[in-house]
Each structure stands twice: as C-alpha cells, then as structure tokens.
Chains A and B, each alone.
Chain A
Amino acid sequence: MEHIRTTKILHHHIASVEKLALTTSGCPLVIQCKNFRIVHFIVPRERDCHDIYNSLLQLSKQAKYEDLYAFSYNPKQNDSERLQGWQLIDLAEEYKRMGVPNSHWELSDANREYKICETYPRELYVPWTASKPIIVGSSKFRSKGRFPVLSYYHQDKKAAICRCSQPLSGFSARCMEDEHLLQAISKANPVNRYMYVVDTRPKLNAMANRAAGKGYENEDNYSSIRFQFVGIENIHVMRSSLQKLLEVNGTKGLSVSDFYSGLESSGWLRHIKAIMDAAIFLAKAIMVENASVLVHCSDGWDRTSQVCSLGSLLLDSYYRTIKGFMVLIEKDWISFGHKFSERCGHLDGDPKEVSPVFTQFLECVWHLTEQFPQAFEFNEAFLLQIHEHIHSCQFGNFLGNCQKEREELKLKEKTYSLWPFILEDQKKYLNPLYSSKSHRFIVLEPNTVSFNFKFWRNMYHQFDRTLHPRQSVFNIIMNMNEQNKQLEKDIKDLESKIKQRKNKQTDDILTKELLHSVHPESPTLKTSLCFKEQTLLPVNDSLRTIEGSSPADNRYSEYAEEFSKSEPAVVSLEYGVARMTC
C-alpha cells in the first residue's frame, strides 16, 4: 500500500512565500509560516509554481475580517454550546476572585459605552475615591485615553498592579485629575502610601516622546510616586530581533559559533530577560515593599500587557493553572486591547504593526516553566498550542484589536472560542510533575542571571523534528501518569471482584457444608502454577522507539559529500601519484 503523507498549512499561517530561481528539478517555492514552520516545495513546472505563488499570496492576506477562517469554521456545535464556550472565561468572576470590588476598589461605569476609551473594556476597576470627572480628566491627559485602571489586586498585601498609557506631559504639562487619580491609587493601598510608576520603555525613548507632547510622569508633580524606567524595547526593535533570530536559525549547516553570535546579535534573549526583569520588579515591589505599581509604556497595550500579566503570574499561582492562564490572557491581553490582529498580521495591513509581543510573553512563561518545573499545571504543548491559534484565525478570541471592535464583528455569535476546545483536550496539556499543593500566594522568584536564558528550540524549530530529542521524557511521564490512574482504577475493580468471589465462596461453602458436611481439598495450588503473568498496557512502547533517528535526518550532510567525492581533496599534493578511484 502506498503511504501518503500530507502536510497541512493554514493559509493564515503563511508569513511569506518566496519563489526561488529555477533549478533542473523544478521551481522551488519556500513558505515561511508564522508558527515558524518552513516548507520547501519543488514544483516541476514553472508556470504552475507561479500560479501557486500568486494564489498563496492572495489567500494568505485577507482584506476583511469576514474572510478569515473563524467565520467559516464549523465544529458542529449548536448556538447554546457556542455561547457556553464564550462564557467559560468570565472576567467579572476573575475580579471577584482577586477580591474586588472592596472598600478601596470599585467597578466604574465610566467606559460602559466606550466613550472615554475605545480600546479599553467596558468594565474597569478604579479606586472608589476616583470620581467620574477625575477619570475623564485623567483620560484626556493619557495617550489614547487609556487612564490608570486596575489590572491585578493582591488580596494578601492589599496592593495593586495598575496599568495605563503614557501621560501627555510634554516638557511641562500637568493634569490635576491625573495627579489626583494616581494619588487615589496609592491611597487605596492601606499599608504603603508610596507607589511605583514603572515606565517600561528605555529612558531615551520616553524622553524623545516629550517632544511630541507625550512623555512620562514628573516625580515633582505627583505627591507619592517613585518613578522607574525598565528599558524594554519597542515593537519595531522586537520585530527585527525576531527576524534576525529566524534568519540565523534558518542557515543551512549552521556552526556553533554562528549560532551563538547570531543569537547574541539578534538581541532576542536580551529582550526576553528585560521583560522578565520588569515583571520581577513588579512582584518584588508588592511582596517586599507592599507597594502598588502603575505600569505603562507608550500606548499601554504591548509592553504593559507583557509586564502586568507576567508580574501577576509570578505573584498568583492561579495564573499558573490551565484555566487561570486563559483568564490571564483574556484579561491583560484581550480585554485591555492588545492589538492581536495588527500584531499578528491577521489582515493585509501595515507590516510595521506586526510584532511578536505575545510570543515573547509565552517565551517568558516557558522560561519560568524551565526554572520551576512543578509550578505550572500546563506544559509546553499548551503554550505552543496557544501560539498556534493566535495566528490561525480559527477561533474568535484573538481577532480584532480591542473589545469594541470584537463586539462590532459579533464574534460571539459568528465564531467560536478557543478555550473550550483546549479544555476538552486538557490531558495533552497537563504537566505531569505539577504540584498543586502550593499555596495561592507562593511567589516565583526566577533567577535572571543570563545563563538561565536559553534558546527555545521547541518554539522556533517546532516542526524541525530532527533537532528534537528522540525520546521525550515528558511524554513518557505524562503517559505514565495516565496509566497510573488507570491502574488505580483496575486495582479497585479487581479488589471488589475478589471480594465478591470470596463472599460468594464463603456463602457457597456454608451451603455446601450444610448439604455435605465434608468438603474435598481444593486443588488451587496446581492451577495457580499454570497462571501466566499478563503484560500490562504497553503504553510507552511507541514513545520509546526512536523516531526519525537516521543519519540522513541528522544533518551530518557533510558526510554525504565525503562519501560521494570521487577522490580526496589531497590528491594534487600527493607527489604526482596517480589518482586512485576506489
């Protein structure tokens, strides 16, 4: 029987298509995907290749949301199932879990109609002392109207992580309402009246913004703040950093030297470390100083989302569960208006808006899972799956750039939510080593010495199986965990069956004794010797066999050349000895 392998690539996953120069075997077509898969095709006829190339170019760049996969994807669910799926993550519930509203924080209806800020959600939590005029005033002083609101409330410390965009301070402008709002936030913390304002941008960038009438908070104008830059680069730097990283890793026959100097010059791990350090700053401010923190960057939807969500994840073990992680993404990324569609290039738009901001967040989480292998309920596959779907456009969650836009697109009626599908497959995403016993407020204190940051091979070479370990410890342990559950069940079944038998026997014996009073010796011993031990569930066998382990797969390509060379390179130096063909 012929074995047919199919490779499926979603059109939405295509990042670029390239037609290379014609070769003798045909016309090469290289497709680079957003999930970092690279596929090479050789199309025998150049005209076909050209046609495919043009079709792919068109299919991979949609002009309208309505043409995206999510609007035609049909998992055969009815309306109520779909709605239930969307209701799985309930942010009102989440704020309740954090412990708001309370005596210091309340739900504000100021943005109920998206009148103050179009890119914020309708429901926002602010200090109860912040009246509507103060909110309105502050929003006018903040870029895109993104005034300071609550992102995470630490119930134990009564301290908050808040987020906003940069102030329109220019060189000297002030805004009483904004100052008042910040003071309200710091006063909402009963323990520490000082609050950190963390500007996640490099200082130079923030200063440059002042010339455009934007900028950063002047400590003199705000009574109780401590101002801090943390120096994370902007989306354009991140985009070209990733591009460099991918270029290096795409090199054929890459040397160790080139790999590390490429890794260094891409700056990628430096950026990851900067984000991690910023998140640690937040966690420390809350845990050590009991201080609230206000985080912003320029518009407050990229770096701010990274730092706020990662900071909360360090502080609160709930976000390290599967459900909690979904909530975290819904809250700090989706609801607060991270521009997924623009950053992921869902539509044919401005390529300068594309940036791997969310990918970086996932990578930071991966680094944490590496340092704390038992702290997370989910595994690497979960992170990779989410990454797959921010680009797939198969589900509605990541379409659009803010809540208002999503409502206008009627995503909840026309598309499905990703989360219930992931939960259905939960088994695949569970970390077998997870220790759930840990207390809710156990803080992760990652080590950020540079040597802790490693290249995430399974993300950037997810589809390049030859680079992966040939046997996965993780999968084996995961399966063993599953098997253990099954065995526990088997034991229970067997025990109850044995009990039944025994009871039956004693009953039988009793009745027989009554009938015959003499009972012949039972030949159990004999039969038990004949019993053969059964081998149990060979679950791991397939995993332990070695897939793809062959020299051809392993890029010892240089060998092949060695073997096919007709004569060694030395011949000319061999004192004119005749060439020997073997």
Chain B
Amino acid sequence: MEFAELIKTPRVDNVVLHRPFYPAVEGTLCLTGHHLILSSRQDNTEELWLLHSNIDAIDKRFVGSLGTIIIKCKDFRIIQLDIPGMEECLNIASSIEALSTLDSITLMYPFFYRPMFEVIEDGWHSFLPEQEFELYSSATSEWRLSYVNKEFAVCPSYPPIVIVPKSIDDEALRKVATFRHGGRFPVLSYYHQKNGMVIMRSGQPLTGTNGRRCKEDEKLINATLRVGKRGYVIDTRSLNVAQQARAKGGGFEQEAHYPQWRRIHKSIERYHILQESLIKLVEACNDQTHNMDRWLSKLEASNWLTHIKEILTTACLAAQCIDREGASVLIHGTEGTDSTLQVTSLAQIILEPRSRTIRGFEALIEREWLQAGHPFQQRCAQSAYCNTKQKWEAPVFLLFLDCVWQILRQFPCSFEFNENFLIMLFEHAYASQFGTFLGNSESERCKLKLQQKTMSLWSWVNQPSELSKYTNPLFEANNLVIWPSVAPQSLPLWEGIFLRWNRCSKYLDEAYEEMVNIIEYNKELQAKVNILRRQLAELETEDGMQESP
C-alpha cells in the first residue's frame, strides 16, 4: 500500500495552529506518511512536527468555509488547526484519521525511520538476558538459564531465555507450562542478594472447579524455598475474582497442595476499568472551568490515585515479604502480564538500588516489561481520548510510571533519572520512531525482525547528549531499601503528565534550572578548591625543600 493513496491533500497554506499558552501561528500544513507538519511561512521553521501514531482522536467542525480540526494526542496534548476551505479540511481530517489508525505494524514509522545520529551502542544488545543472569550467578548457584522456550513453543509470551530453579529440568517446565495460564510457568523475576530471597512471577494456575493439581508445579515453586522456610503467593486479584476464575478453568494455589505457601489477595484493577479511570482523569484535568468542588469530586471519581495506592501497596507488601519477613514471593494475577509486572517491577525499585539508576531502570523495563510479555501494542493502542473502547486497551504501563514518579518524589536523591525520563518513556510507549515498544511479546518482535529493521530506543537515549536531559542532578547512590509512604496525603497527582499542557510551567522550569545551577556551581567550586589546595600544598613542600638543605 502506498501512503500517497491515503493522503488526499498533502499540503494546505494559511493554516492557523492554536496551542494553549502559545500565540497562534499561521503556516503551511504538510502531511507525510508518518507526520503532520506545520511550518510558519516567515522563516520556514517547523512549529509542529507530530507523529500520526501519536494522534488519539480528532474532531472537526465548520464555520462557513473555515474548517477546524481539533487533534487530541496520546500524550494528552490538544491542538487546534484552522484550515481554510471545506474540502481541504475534510481531506486533511480523513487523511489524518486513516494514517493514525494504520492496521499493519510494518507500516509504522519505526520501519521507515533513519537515525540522524551515530549509533555508539546498539540498544538491541544492551540488555541481554545472559548478562543480566551473570549479575546473579556470582551470588547464587541455585538458578539456571533455561532455553526451553527457544522457539516460543512452551510459552508464546515468554522470551527464549528464562531463569528457573537449577533443580528443575526443562521437561518439568513443559509440564508446569500446561498448568499455568498462557503457559507462563513460574520464573525468576528478582533475586535479593541481601538474603537470597526471590520474587517469581507466573500466570494463574489452571486448577479449575475440580481443584486440579500439578506435582511439577508444586515441586518447582517449593524448589525455591530454603529448608524450613515458607513463602508467600501474592495474588493480584481479590479472593472473589480469583474464585470466579476457577469457573473459567483458572484459579489459585490451594493451601492443601502448597502447604509451605501462604496466599495473600490484593485487588489491582485491570483493563477497561483502568482505561476509564484514565479517560475520566484526563477529562477532569482538561476542564479549566471546574469549580473546586467539582474538580475534587472528578479527581476522586476518576479513581486514578486509588489505583496508584493499590499498586504501590501491593509492591510494598511484596518487598516487605522479601526484605523484612525473609520469605520468597510468587506473584501472579490472571495472565501475569499486567498487574503482576507492575508489582514485580515496583518491588525491585524499592529493594534494588541498581533499578534506580538509568541503566538499571532501562534493564528493568527490558526484563520485566518487554521480555516478560506485557502486550504494549494492545495496551497502548489508544489513550485517553479514544472513542472505540477495546477491552485490551489499558494504561498499565503509565500507572507503573506514575508509581515510580511517586517514589521518586518521596526519595528525590535516590534516583539517577529525573521526571523527564519517565515522561519520555510514556511518550515512546504510545508513539515512537523507535521499535522498542512495538509488538506484544518477544516472539512478535522476533517475527517482525525489529532488531534488523528498526532502531532501539535505548540506542538513542543512551547517548551522552540525551542522557544529560534525563539525569537527576541530586542523585547520590543510596544502597538502602526505600519504603514509600502510601497514605493519600503522600500521593499527589502527577502534574508533569496530567497538567502538562494545561498550565504554564515557566516559573517551575526556571526554578528547576536555578536548582541545577546551584548544584553545578557547587561542583565547580569544589573542584576549584581542590586545585588550589593542591597548588598550595605544592608550594608549601617546595618551600620546605628549600628551607631544609
């Protein structure tokens, strides 16, 4: 298919762009296969360069022959284009609509994007499972790499290489896979070096209504327990939901068959409930006319912060089991691809200092989200403005990023990255020139040959010039476990994301710059003092040499 077929009018002059907090700009609107571009005529500079895939929804209206298109983006920005001429406007609108909802992944921009920068380190090879495993293997010999899923036959949503208990062979893994939802047998998610306790994750056990059991499954997860120790199963569903799952062939670990494990049920919402929460929240944030009561009641009704609190609380619980109770944990919900990953990854942020560094956080996303099979393509297909509500769309990853932001806010010196890093990840998860977040699993990404055909986000982000934007000037490595507060008074709205386009941040940005200046100046002064001290010491010894013959 040619993009040209979809672009009915490639170019319109005298288009006026309206954005909040900016003066209106008149210019020429151009449509390309992947971008909507507006350049003002005076100096030929681009005022707007928008990926079609970032467009969530459009509205059009007409006053006489002047058409107006309101573009609502997946990053929550809303812009308005005034287009003279009804036909042009209709053509532009239908082109945008077609181009922003392309069916085929291979038509997406990452397959066409040619980087303008020199690739120093290919991000596709930055975080290989073997390397990650090496970090553990020095500390423990109880685990091994398994290639049982090499052809994606055992579990389509798992990567080819997973970490499993050493004492369990691949044959047993295959059996366990048949007993777990989506073939997601329990695998290692995190190893706590301090006490050797682990976090594992999986899909729900397929016990069904007659209480089916699987000896290999029991053996597998018991193999992770030290002698005389017990573990916790954290089910991210309420007991009720877990019980209902049995009717559909799912279920949960029954005490009788897993006597060394205690089950805790937590209720983390999924799917459309989260998507609706996001839609309501963004709607509330976008309406500047709300009076105080209405704003607060809308914020409350969105339930967004309730979800944040639930997720964080569950992650804290998992971390507490590991670090304080000295007990290993198995975490799952139904599929083990959404709330499970929120909990396992946040628990690591709390427990593991490395995951609070830029590289470590990238590795965490690679390991716990991309390779663990979070279906990004489905979840991030649409954002807060979509009209066609699909069951599989949900801001699971955004909720995770929000939770990380909450912890970052409470421990502002313990993270190597800043808020902008999280915002950038949010943007790229929804619309990107890079291939990293395409597809729903490793197997899909392999089939799409993303490594060969697209650029990795990490190749770009990890350039020194880019990294400097995302580096937290306050960072000082902190090797402790960090326990966030989950009280509602400690969990504010993430303004950097949700009010980003709704208020002028000039004063806040200036204040941030000033803060950076103070820190930079401090470093300069320290360096200078050191140089001077050395100089003085040299002079002193020189004098001493001269004085003593």
Residues of A within 8 A of B (CB): 249, 254-261, 263-264, 267, 269-270, 273, 371-375, 432-433, 435, 447, 449-455, 457, 461, 466-473, 476-477, 480-481, 483-484, 487-488, 490-491, 494-495, 497-498, 501-502, 504-505, 508, 512, 522-524, 527-528, 531, 533-534, 536, 540, 544-546, 549-551, 553-556, 558-559, 562-563, 568-571, 573-575, 577-580, 582
Contact = CB atoms under 8 A, between A and B. Distances in A.
Query: Which among B254, B414, B538 has the highest number of chain A CB atoms within 10 Å?
Result: B538
A508 B131 CA distance: 62
A534 B533 CA distance: 8
Interface string B526-549: 101110111111111111011000
B529 A490 contact: yes
A501 B485 CA distance: 56
B480 interface: yes
B295 A494 contact: no
A467 B485 contact: yes
Contacts of B542: 505, 522, 524, 527
Contact of A549 (B254, B480, B543): B480
Given A549-B411, A570-B263, 16 more contacts: A373-B507, A374-B514, A451-B495, A453-B292, A476-B413, A494-B532, A501-B539, A524-B541, A528-B541, A546-B480, A553-B483, A556-B320, A562-B317, A570-B255, A577-B254, A579-B255
A529 to B, nearest CB: 10
B300 A260 contact: yes
A570 B291 CA distance: 45
Contact of B485 (A260, A432, A466): A466
B391 interface: no
A582 B230 contact: yes
B499 A451 contact: yes
B488 A259 contact: yes
A371 B507 contact: yes
Contacts of B484: 554
B60 to A, nearest CB: 27
B198 interface: no
Point out which of B264, B294, B525 has the most chain A C-beta atoms below 10 A from its C-beta. B525
Chain B contact surface mostly: helix
A544 B275 CA distance: 37
A221 B291 CA distance: 35
B411 A469 contact: yes
5 contacts: A264-B300, A467-B489, A505-B542, A508-B543, A544-B478
Contacts of B265: 570
Interface centre among A470, A505, A582 (most CB of B within 10 A): A470
Contacts of A371: 507
Contacts of A483: 522
Contacts of A453: 292
Interface string B500-539: 0011100110110011001101100110111011111111
Contacts, number: 257
A276 B21 CA distance: 22
Contacts of A466: 485, 487
Given A470-B482, A508-B546, A528-B534, A487 B526 contact: yes
B482 A534 contact: no
Nearest to B307: A256
B526 A575 contact: no
B293 interface: yes
Interface string B137-166: 000000000000000000000000000000
A157 B332 CA distance: 67
Interface residues of B, number: 94
A582 B292 CA distance: 51
B539 A505 contact: yes
A563 B325 contact: yes
A457 B489 contact: yes
B491 interface: yes
B489 A484 contact: no
Contacts of A582: 230, 259-260, 262
A254 B296 contact: no
B316 A551 contact: yes
A487 B525 contact: yes
B285 interface: yes
A546 B478 contact: yes
A494 B508 contact: no
Contacts of B485: 466-468, 554-555
A483 B288 CA distance: 43
A468 B487 CA distance: 10
B413 A544 contact: yes
B234 to A, nearest CB: 10
A469 B539 contact: no
A559 B535 CA distance: 58
Given A536-B526, A546-B411, A451 B285 contact: yes
B486 interface: yes
Interface string B346-384: 000000000000000000000000000000000000000
Interface string B399-416: 000000000011111100
Contacts of B296: 260-261, 263-264, 269, 450
B489 A461 contact: yes
B16 interface: no
B64 interface: no
B10 interface: no
A464 to B, nearest CB: 8
A255 B309 CA distance: 9
B288 A449 contact: yes
Contacts of B259: 580, 582
Contacts of A505: 539, 542-543
A286 to B, nearest CB: 22
Nearest to B261: A582
Interface in B394-433: 409-414
A577 B411 CA distance: 46
A424 to B, nearest CB: 25
A248 B504 CA distance: 32
A178 B100 CA distance: 68
Contact of B530 (A508, A527, A536): A536
Contact of B316 (A435, A455, A559, A579): A559
B114 to A, nearest CB: 40
B173 to A, nearest CB: 27
B341 to A, nearest CB: 21
